[in-house]
Amino acid sequence: MTSNTVFLYDTTLRDGTQGEGFQLSVLDKLRIAERLDAFGIHTIEGGWPGSNPKDVAFFREAKNLPLQHARLAAFGSTRRAGVAVKDDAQVRMLLESETPVVTIFGKSWQMQVTEVLRTTVEENRAMIGDTVAYLVGHGREVVYDAEHFFDGYKDNAQHALATLEAAAQAGASWLVLCDTNGGTLPSEIMHICKAVRDRLPATPLGIHTHNDCELAVANAIAAIKAGATQIQGTINGYGERTGNCNLTSVIPILQLKMGLPVVPHLEQLRDLSYFVDDVSNNPHYARAPFVGCSAFAHKGGMHVNAVRKLARSYEHLEPASVGNEQNILVSELSGQANILSKAEQLGLPLAKGSPEAAAILKRVKQLESDGYSFEAADGSLELLIRRELGDHQKPFDLTEYHTSFRQYRDGHPPVCEATVKLVVGGTPELTVAEGRGVIHALDRALRKALMPFYPEIADVSLVDYKVRIIDGHDATAAKTRVLIVSTDGRTRWGTVGVSENIIEASWLALVDGIDLFLQRSISQESDP
Ligand SMILES: [Zn+2]
């Protein structure tokens, strides 16, 4: 480790999910973990196995994730007071998560020890030391999160420092100073981090800040200036109360303003931000620094005129460096770069500056203005690119479909039914199916109709379905966006549909989900 390296520790999947309105299923967490890994995050905190069964399930599944870059961390607390560490069920679950990194938090603030834990300061230090040593003894890299560190230090610095010493002596690899309540100022952060640095020079320091004073990013940067080398935060700043340190802001500041390279592909930052919003079913925050759609928007006539002549007159950095774009002069080149890199990922031939690339970009922009979002719908984007490149065989022609919902008076459970009529290679097919809901019935009827022609679609199943109402420019025409995730048991792909009608939007996403699978099977068959 060199002195100019900063390690990124993402806690979107743990601290992020403690934020209001930010819920993730196990599948969502797996998708986000893969994406964080591809982006170049160093450590991904996946959850707190001792606090909920969902996180236990996540760690079970996460063992099979093909992570290239990141290491997974399980989060938990020190052993309980008066209990031997080997008998503590919560600590045992941390080991059972089988992650290379384990992060535990302990109390640094004397008041929390005596008033909340109701134990002695000596027992508190033993709880920290025992737990760290036990986990290190089991081959784990241990990150020690010092909860309420700054408040604790201001209250009783000797006590706070002694808790860090207990963790360091027991073999913790990192001492992470937490501004748990988010009330500390950057000047205090810098002063206290330096004091800790001087007292415990041998163990690297990290910083974990919350945004209660809108200072989480500034506080993290202050800690780096004072010698910390790890930042804990979340994508888009999701987290408890007003949120955590926003990695989406911290990363470009480190890389572009401080000359500390932390990720290989900063130009994928905006896409990552949108992906996490889409997967968690949250709206994009337009005024988000760096990644928001207003971050490089120019409205005032004089500004527009100036940026046309010289972008840097009203822009602090090149929007494309973070994957964003200037909002008036839609930069065809930066837009094309995104499409080209996606085509390359998919192994589809697309040349820079080609008429196809321009046509695809135009189509993407038009669909996005109609309410589409492709960040979590890689499958629909692949289909769009294939169609423009002429690398698409239409699997069927739709004649009509029909859905119904019947509620009975006598307590009989309601019935959803769908009819699908389509033509495959000149052969008409008509099927009817029932389902738990209208979309379920429609999905079943569509598969039933296609099965005689494409038996391989039996492998495809729908694993996630999300609905979002997009604010229309006029309230009468609000649109629905449906995101679907399908799998064939080996890979997963997302597809999207948008319509003023939820059934139509769902149909579009369902059809794309199956269509993509068929196109990929066709190209595999035709490969030499
Ligand atoms: Zn926190």
Spell out the SS3 assignment of 204-241. CEEEEEECCCCCHHHHHHHHHHCCCCEEEEEHHHCCCC
Query: How close is the Cα of 180 to the center of ligand 1, in Å?
Result: 6
Predicted confidence (pLDDT) at residue 528 exceeds the cutoff of 50: no
Quick check: 134 and 76 in contact, CB under 8 A? no
Instruction: Give the pLDDT score at 350.
Output: 85
Query: How close is the Cα of 171 to the center of ligand 1, in Å?
Result: 23
CA trace torsion 71, 76, 77, 79 (10° rounding): -100
d(CA 358, CA 363): 9
What mean pLDDT comes out for the span 473-486?
80
Cβ contacts of residue 469 below 8 Å, gap of 6+? Answer: 478, 479, 480, 481
Buried b or exposed e, range 8-29, using 16+ CB within 10 angstroms: bbbbbbbbbbbbeebebbbbbb
368 or 27: which leads in pLDDT: 27
Query: How close is the Cα of 35 to the center of ligand 1, in Å?
Result: 22
What is the phi/psi pair of residue 81, to 5°?
-65, 140
d(CA 382, CA 243): 34
Query: How close is the Cα of 209 to the center of ligand 1, in Å?
Result: 7
The strand ranges marked E within 12-140 are 43-47, 71-77, 101-107
User: How far from 522 is each of 262, 350, 390, 525, CA to CA, in Å?
Assistant: 40, 19, 13, 5
Averaged confidence pLDDT in the chain: 91
Which residue type sits at 33? A
Query: How close is the Cα of 21 to the center of ligand 1, in Å?
Result: 16
Instruction: Give the pLDDT score at 311.
Output: 73
Instruction: Give the pLDDT score at 305.
Output: 64
Query: How close is the Cα of 353 to the center of ligand 1, in Å?
Result: 46
Query: How close is the Cα of 201 to the center of ligand 1, in Å?
Result: 24
Put simply, whether the predicted model's pTM sits higher than 0.85 gets the answer: no
Structure tokens belonging to residue 528: 């030499």
Q: How many CB atoms lie within 10 A of CB 336?
A: 18
Instruction: With CA atoms as reference, report the closest residue to 61 among 102, 23, 25, 95.
Output: 25
Instruction: Give the pLDDT score at 376.
Output: 85
Query: How close is the Cα of 56 to the center of ligand 1, in Å?
Result: 20
| DSSP class of 331 | -
d(CA 517, CA 435): 23
Query: How close is the Cα of 31 to the center of ligand 1, in Å?
Result: 22
3-state helix/strand/coil string of 113-159: HHHHHCCCHHHHHHHHHHHHHHHHHCCCEEEEEEECHHHHHHHCHHH
Predicted confidence (pLDDT) at residue 3 exceeds the cutoff of 50: no
> Strand, helix or coil at 392?
coil
Query: How close is the Cα of 410 to the center of ligand 1, in Å?
Result: 51
Query: How close is the Cα of 12 to the center of ligand 1, in Å?
Result: 10
What mean pLDDT comes out for the span 126-131?
98
Q: Report residue 329's pLDDT band, with 50, 70 and 90 as the boundaries.
A: very low
Q: Report residue 2's pLDDT band, with 50, 70 and 90 as the boundaries.
A: very low
d(CA 38, CA 264): 10
Query: How close is the Cα of 41 to the center of ligand 1, in Å?
Result: 18
Query: How close is the Cα of 489 to the center of ligand 1, in Å?
Result: 35
What mean pLDDT comes out for the span 505-514?
97
Predicted confidence (pLDDT) at residue 175 exceeds the cutoff of 60: yes
Query: How close is the Cα of 43 to the center of ligand 1, in Å?
Result: 15
Percent of the chain at pLDDT > 70 equals 94
Cβ contacts of residue 276 below 8 Å, gap of 6+? Answer: 12, 32, 35, 235, 236, 238
> Residue 106 forms beta bridges with which residues?
146
Run of H or E residues at 467 = strand 461-470
Q: Report residue 331's pLDDT band, with 50, 70 and 90 as the boundaries.
A: very low
The upper half-sphere exposure of residue 229, i.e. CA atoms within 13 Å in the direction of its Cβ, equals 13
d(CA 322, CA 291): 7
Predicted confidence (pLDDT) at residue 471 exceeds the cutoff of 80: no
Query: How close is the Cα of 212 to the center of ligand 1, in Å?
Result: 11
Predicted confidence (pLDDT) at residue 282 exceeds the cutoff of 70: yes
Predicted confidence (pLDDT) at residue 330 exceeds the cutoff of 60: no
Query: How close is the Cα of 134 to the center of ligand 1, in Å?
Result: 24
Query: How close is the Cα of 244 to the center of ligand 1, in Å?
Result: 7
Digit-coded pLDDT (tens) for 354-382:
898 889 988 988 898 888 988 889 899 99
Buried b or exposed e, range 135-150, using 16+ CB within 10 angstroms: bbeeebbbbbbbbbbb
Query: How close is the Cα of 254 to the center of ligand 1, in Å?
Result: 21
Predicted confidence (pLDDT) at residue 79 exceeds the cutoff of 50: yes
Query: How close is the Cα of 239 to the center of ligand 1, in Å?
Result: 7
Which residue do the tokens 């020890």 mark?
A: 113
Q: Report residue 328's pLDDT band, with 50, 70 and 90 as the boundaries.
A: low
d(CA 95, CA 522): 45
Instruction: Give the pLDDT score at 484.
Output: 94
Run of H or E residues at 36 = helix 26-39
Q: How many CB atoms lie within 10 A of CB 461?
A: 14
> Residue 74 forms beta bridges with which residues?
47, 102
